[in-house]
């Protein structure tokens, strides 16, 4: 009987030591691995700086790079990622509505003002009659492109289109004095289509990867203080996890802000 008590006591002690070591690891003894999906290019470059800041938060950030806007949310929702960082709230809202993802934003990162680019003209007002103009085929970015065309007095949208949580489409154009043809393409294809188009709306990350400078080459650009700040997203069930808060804190570190301001010269603007 006494041997049984000793055995039970030894097992209890071993369990206690094991639990203690796990708690110690979670409290900072061993960095917690966090898999973050982002876009190759400027996004991934910024995350290399965030990785260093995250170490101070007890996080070991593993950056997984993507080349389109569809896969990062699918991977996060499936549990292949712990977080992603590549999209603004209107895009996330559209993805949730279309695909039913249980994903939520937990902190802002930066703003990448969308721009129009061209190899043929210097201003949108120079678009010729019946010109082909490329815009993104996803609802939120296509909406941004149409609003930018309207802001530059190229087209007019029906009243209320593209605002108050709605996404405008080419069907919402009610005045098109130059009879422009709006060509909807995948965002990644737009830089490669500039030879065939008079102008195209291009997201900043794709523009930079194509060798375009948003500050030098864009013939029209969104206001940097618009509503399209990018964010860090996690699954809804993880939004209150300590690591999610630490991940945002790492991104908001002074050295990350300084890197963005110095490296991108206004093409990318911190949103924190």
**What is the full DSSP assignment across 183-247?**
EEE-GGGTGGGTTTSSEEEE-HHHHHHTT--HHHH-SEE--TTSS-EEEEEEEGGGTT-HHHHHH
pLDDT of residue 163: 85
Ordered per-residue pLDDT tens for the chain, 272 residues: 433 333 333 333 333 333 333 333 345 479 999 999 999 999 999 999 999 999 999 999 999 999 999 999 999 999 999 999 999 999 999 999 999 999 999 999 999 999 999 999 999 999 999 999 999 999 999 999 999 999 999 999 999 999 877 899 999 999 999 999 999 999 999 999 999 999 999 999 999 999 999 999 999 999 877 789 999 999 999 999 999 999 999 999 999 999 999 999 888 999 99
**What is the full DSSP assignment across 138-159?**
SHHHHHHHHHHHHHTTS-EEPT
Whole-number Å distance between alpha carbons of 55 and 76: 22
Domains of the chain: 31-113+227-270 (3.40.190.10), 115-221 (3.40.190.10)
Indicate the SS3 state at residue 49: helix
pLDDT of residue 16: 38
pLDDT of residue 217: 96
pLDDT of residue 265: 84
pTM of the model: 0.79
Question: β-pairing, 220-221 with 115-117?
Answer: antiparallel
């Amino acid at each position: 009987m006494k041997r049984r008590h000793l055995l039970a006591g030894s097992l209890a002690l071993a369990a206690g030591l094991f639990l203690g070591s796990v708690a110690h690891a979670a409290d900072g003894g061993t960095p917690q691995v966090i898999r973050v999906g982002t876009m190759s290019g400027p996004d991934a470059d910024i995350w290399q700086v965030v990785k260093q800041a995250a170490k101070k938060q007890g996080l070991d950030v593993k950056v997984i790079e993507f080349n389109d806007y569809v896969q990062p949310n699918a991977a996060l929702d499936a549990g292949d990622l712990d977080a992603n960082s590549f999209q603004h709230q209107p895009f996330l809202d559209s993805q949730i509505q279309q695909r039913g993802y249980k994903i939520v934003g937990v902190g802002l990162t930066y703003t990448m003002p969308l721009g129009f680019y061209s190899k043929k003209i210097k201003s949108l007002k120079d678009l010729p009659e019946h010109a082909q103009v490329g815009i993104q085929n996803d609802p939120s970015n296509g909406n941004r492109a149409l609003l930018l065309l309207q802001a530059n007095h190229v087209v007019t949208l029906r009243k209320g289109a593209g605002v108050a949580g709605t996404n405008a489409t080419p069907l919402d154009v009610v005045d098109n004095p130059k009879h422009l043809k709006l060509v909807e393409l995948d965002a990644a294809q737009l830089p490669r289509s500039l030879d065939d188009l008079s102008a195209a709306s291009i997201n900043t990350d794709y523009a930079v990867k194509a060798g375009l400078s948003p500050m030098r080459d864009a013939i029209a650009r969104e206001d940097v203080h618009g509503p399209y700040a990018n964010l860090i997203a996690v699954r809804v069930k993880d939004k209150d996890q300590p690591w999610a808060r630490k991940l945002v804190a790492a991104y908001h570190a002074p050295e990350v802000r300084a890197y963005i301001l110095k490296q991108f010269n206004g093409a990318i603007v911190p949103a924190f």
